[in-house]
Amino acid sequence: MKIEFPKPFFWGAASSATQSEGRQLTDGKGENIWDYASKEYNHRFYEGVTTEDTSYFYRDYQQDIQKMQDISFNSFRTSISWSRLIPNGTGAVNPEAVIFYNNIINEMIAKGVEPFINLYHFDMPMPLQKKGGFENKEVIEAYKQYAKTCFELFGDRVTYWFTFNEPMIPAEAGYLHDRHYPYVVDFKRAAMVLHNIILAHCEAVKVYREMKLAGKIGIIMDVIPVYPRSQNPADLDAAEMADLFYTKSVNDAILKGKYPTRLKEVLEEYDQLPEVTVADLALIAATKIDLLGINYYRPRRVKAKEGVPNPKGVFSPEWFFDEYVMPGRRMNTSRGIEIYPRGIYDIAKKIQVEYDNIDWFVSENGIGIEGEEAFIEEGIVQDDYRIDFLKEHLTYLNQAMKEGSNCLGYHMWTFVDCWSWGNAYKNRYGFYRLDLATGEKTVKKSGLWFKETVENNGFD
Ligand code: BG6
């Protein structure tokens, strides 16, 4: 069977500043929460490996962009590091950062790699975090100024802009699930952070529109499609609650211009509603994006809650559903998550039906594997499992597109094995292998497969 994609189609990969640049505190870069946590909470990082040891994009960008061209990327997403560009979060711009971001943008364009630029990938500047980060409404203004600075500096060449990567994560991981700094566990504060991130997104879109730049602006969402254990009402309700808290809360605000009514009712009932003004809601209702990125890694399977929720503990979405361990599910054991290629089709259909069939692309999808060195033969990682993973997901995506989904491209996570927030280099995701000892980057079998796929705009 031949799987063919329409032309043009964006093919490439995604990464982020903190996960790839390295040189975190040189050339005028300010400290962000990851640099700070690396020092102060080093025990929380896998093998103590931190942001300084990323894949050296800051140093190697020319060779790296050449490597993108070598495997026929026509697009690539990365983020601007707020604390590299504006070291204190507000105020003076770092001229070295302007040179760096100009260089990478120009180099990508020269090599036929369309830059997709994201403004925020989990990396709050530390001086602003000390003021409360996105819990503090003043930080929305700081973010707006940062966004404006980026549009002014690079908006003449960057056509595709994104305000945030996975807006749910800084709220959920930083303020509820104890995974990202500031390691707070408090639902109401998490909800405040999420709401303020949504407002910051709206402000950035507004500024972008006011500047009348010719490009497009959107946001990157992580979507975990939810599947109930059965069709019985209690399981269906559990699935609805999981979806409400983790997906619809953000997606409806951004794409429908309003929060789901049921979510508001539940939060009111449990006294967890953050402060939301009429002006906030009007801003959300008035903001429209041009393009949506979807990060898809795994499904969420749920069942009705067993036993009673504990009203004395910290309020949490998990009060309303339990995880369902489906017998026979296919696992990526390295990362402990289920592999379910059909999820990408289900997401595409949801966008088509519920979100006006907006233009979108797969902004992240990929498989992180531990111990890839065991698969090196003749100097190359023989990652057939990654090729299979890509083929399966792309086949489902292609089917959705044949049924009318407006998907414009596919970016894998990631280009070169990069540092991860929780697991450093434990799980490798790249089309290129990074040798940690030498810094050498070598294409994997999947990178060569991808090149052929881009050149044929599909595969057999
Ligand atoms: C995505 C993030 O959710 O997942 C990336 O946008 C992240 O920043 C990727 O690296 C893979 O997750 P992890 O935890 O394995 O690095």
- Crossing angle of helices 187-210 and 168-175, in 10° steps, is 150
Q: Which residue has the tokens 């990969």?
A: 13
- Crossing angle of helices 138-154 and 95-110, in 10° steps, is 50
Q: Which atom of ligand 1 is nearest to the CA of 427?
A: 15
For residue 140, how far is its CA from the centre of ligand 1 (angstroms)?
A: 24
Q: What is the pLDDT of residues 384-407, one digit of tens each?
A: 999 999 999 999 999 999 999 999
CATH of domain 3-459: 3.20.20.80
The predicted structure's pLDDT at residue 311? 66
The predicted structure's pLDDT at residue 435? 95
d(CA 273, CA 19): 33
Q: Which atom of ligand 1 is nearest to the CA of 169?
A: 3
Q: Which atom of ligand 1 is nearest to the CA of 166?
A: 6
Q: How is the chain split among helix, strand and coil, in percent rounded to 5?
A: 45, 20, 40
The predicted structure's pLDDT at residue 24? 75
Domain boundaries, the chain: 3-459
Q: Whose CA is nearest to atom 16 of ligand 1?
A: 420
The predicted structure's pLDDT at residue 1? 87
Task: With beta carbons less than 8 A apart as the criterion, state whether 54 and 18 touch.
Answer: yes
In the beta sheet, which residues pair with residue 116? 77, 160
The predicted structure's pLDDT at residue 244? 98
Q: Which atom of ligand 1 is nearest to the CA of 16?
A: 8
Task: With beta carbons less than 8 A apart as the criterion, state whether 118 and 160 touch.
Answer: no
For residue 420, how far is its CA from the centre of ligand 1 (angstroms)?
A: 6
Residues with catalytic roles: 166, 364
The continuous run of DSSP H or E covering 10 comes out as strand 10-14
Type of residue found at 196: N
Looking from the CA of 48 toward its CB, the CA atoms found within 13 Å total: 3
For residue 281, how far is its CA from the centre of ligand 1 (angstroms)?
A: 30
> What is the complex's ipTM, to 2 decimals?
0.98
Residue of 420, 427, 428, 429 to mutate, ligand 1, most atoms within 8 A of C-beta: 420
Residue of 79, 247, 362, 364 to mutate, ligand 1, most atoms within 8 A of C-beta: 364
In the beta sheet, which residues pair with residue 162? 118, 218
Q: Whose CA is nearest to atom 7 of ligand 1?
A: 420
Q: Kindly list the protein residues whose Cβ atom lies closer than 6 A to any atom of ligand 1.
A: 16, 19, 165-166, 222, 295, 335, 364, 368, 413, 420-423, 427
The predicted structure's pLDDT at residue 310? 65
Strands in 123-223 per DSSP E: 160-165, 216-222
The predicted structure's pLDDT at residue 299? 98
Sites in the chain below the pLDDT cut of 70: 308-311
